[in-house]
Amino acid sequence: MNGPATFYTLHLFNLKIKGMLNKKVEKALNDQIKVEAESSQAYLAMACWAEINGYPGTSAFLYAHSDEERMHMMKLIRFVNDRGGKAIIAAISEPAKEFKNLQNIFALLLSHENKVTAAINNVVDVCLKEKDYTTHNFMQWYVSEQIEEETLAHHIIDQLNLIGNDKGALYFIDRDIATLKGGVAGAEKGAKA
C-alpha cells in the first residue's frame, strides 16, 4: 500500500526518530564539537609555526592532524543533526601562536589530547547516565581514537627526548614525523595482525 498516506506515516515516523536525542546528551555533544574545533585550530597554529621555523615534516604532520580534528568535529555535527538535535557552531578561543621548539609543541599537543580524552569520557558518562546507548556506541570510536592519538604523541615526545639538542638528529626526526600520521597505531595494528 504505497501512496500519500504511507509517505505521511513514514514521515511522521522519521520525525519521531529524529526527535529522540536527549537534551543533556545533545549539550554534551555540542560541547565536544567545540573541543574538536579548538583542537583543529590549535594544531593549525602549530603547523604554521613549524612551517616558518624550518620543520616541514612536523608542519605536514600538524596540518594533517588539524584536518583530522575537523573531521572529528564534522562527524559529531552530522550525528547530532541526524539524531534530531541541533549542532551548534560556537565561537572558539584563539590558539597559541608562539612556541619554543618541537619539544614544546608536542608537550602542548599531548596535554591538549589529555583534556580531549577527559571531555570524551564526560560525553560517555552523560550517555550512560541518560541511558542513551546509541550515542554511547557512537562515542566508542572517539574513545579508541584518543588511545591512538595519545600513544602517537608519547612516541614523538620519547623520540625528541632521546635526541635532546642534537640539531642533526632533529632534522631526521622532523623528516620522520611527516610519515607518522597514524603510523604508530597503524604499525601496532599491523604487528598484531
Q: Footprint of ligand FEO on this chain (CB under 6 A)?
A: 36, 39, 69, 72, 113, 116, 149
* List of residues 6+ apart from 17 with CB closer than 8 A: 84
Closer residue to ligand FEO (CB): 27 or 75:
75
Supply the minimum distance, in Å, between the C-beta of residue 15 and ligand FEO: 31
Report which residue's Cβ sits closest to ligand FEO.
Answer: 72
Supply the minimum distance, in Å, between the C-beta of residue 8 and ligand FEO: 40
Supply the minimum distance, in Å, between the C-beta of residue 113 and ligand FEO: 5
Closer residue to ligand FEO (CB): 69 or 174:
69
Residue with cell 560541547: 31
Task: Determine the Cα–Cα distance for residues 112 and 188; give it in Å rounded to an integer.
Answer: 23
Closer residue to ligand FEO (CB): 132 or 149:
149
Supply the minimum distance, in Å, between the C-beta of residue 69 and ligand FEO: 5
Closer residue to ligand FEO (CB): 114 or 161:
114
Closer residue to ligand FEO (CB): 26 or 36:
36
Supply the minimum distance, in Å, between the C-beta of residue 34 and ligand FEO: 12
